[in-house]
Amino acid sequence: MSFIRTLIGTCIKHKQQYSYLLIQLCRREVIGRYRGSFMGVLWSFFAPLLMLFIYTFVFSVVFKARWNIEQAGTADFAINLFVGILLHSLLAECLNRSTSLIQENVNYIKRVVFPLPLIPLSIVGASTFHFAVGLSVLMVACLIFYGGIPVTALLLPFLLLPFLFFISGLAFFLSAIGVYIRDTVQVMPMVSTVLLFMAPVFYPMDVLPEDMRAWLYLNPLTYPLIESRNVLLYGGIPDWFQWSMYLCASVVSLFMGYWVFRRLRVGFADVV
């Protein structure tokens, strides 16, 4: 596992320099996404709200979907749904953007001394920023409709840490594979849609037959979604054993994704 020692050693040696570069790359991703638009970064605030209103109307008004909680109404459905939309958007943005990252940053690929792993991580950072904006909207909604936020909400960063590790591994893998297999650009939007509907975003797990529920945990979105609702809305404590198992799987995903990226990056300059 020499590549792991190389990764850790390099990060420690150049911690301050890499941190500054990563922040600047994330900032460029966020600003560049809205460059030239009238509302600018405010779109990161209004876009999830618009999708929330549409999904809430379709599923809670048209299809009469409800969560299995007492006196559940449209507001309860919308808030539960919003948690799912935020987490899925975080995952989907990384999936969809990572596949063409290297092609969009050819100028960095030609620079031998540039730390290429920061490019996939910048997408994770920019996506996390958009998630944080949406999360602030969710907190305001909880204050309005529920009158407060459970203290267990403080556990959310620890809860989402494995999810970010997993996404980072995917970003490494997809950005490297996307250089050689251009079809991934077309495939990933379909994959992200499948992940959306094969996770309990629009419905509670209880509506599924018991023998089908375990299959949903193969979706990387399912565990963080269920536990995020638990700590943010219901004041529950996460199952730390499941969290540790998810953390181990996410760390494996991170290192495997980086290993693939490290092995394939030697040919980036020739292909792009």
Six-digit token string for 208: 């599924």
- The residue type at 256: M
pLDDT at 246 over 70: yes
Residues 6+ apart with CB under 8 A from 154: none
Calculate mean pLDDT across residues 29-51: 73
pLDDT value at residue 174:
95
Of 144, 138, 153, residue with least CA distance to 90? 138
Give the lowest-confidence range in 105-109, 116-120, 162-166: 105-109
Taking only the tens place, the pLDDT of each residue in 208-231 is 888 888 899 999 999 999 999 999
Is residue 193 helix, strand or coil? helix
Calculate mean pLDDT across residues 124-142: 89
C-alpha distances in Å from residue 226, one per residue of 111, 130, 157, 200: 43, 20, 15, 8
**Spatial contact of 179 and 271, defined as CB atoms under 8 Å apart:** yes
Q: Which of the listed ranges 67-76, 86-95, 135-144 does the model predict with the highest average pLDDT? A: 86-95
* Domains of the chain, residue spans: 2-271
Calculate mean pLDDT across residues 249-255: 95
pLDDT value at residue 53:
78
Which of the two residues, 62 and 268, has the higher pLDDT score?
268
Taking only the tens place, the pLDDT of each residue in 41-74 is 677 777 777 777 777 777 767 666 666 654 456 7
Instruction: Look at the alpha carbons of 214, 218, 222, 224 in this order and tell me if their dihedral is positive or negative.
Output: positive
Q: pTM here?
A: 0.86
Six-digit token string for 52: 């929330």
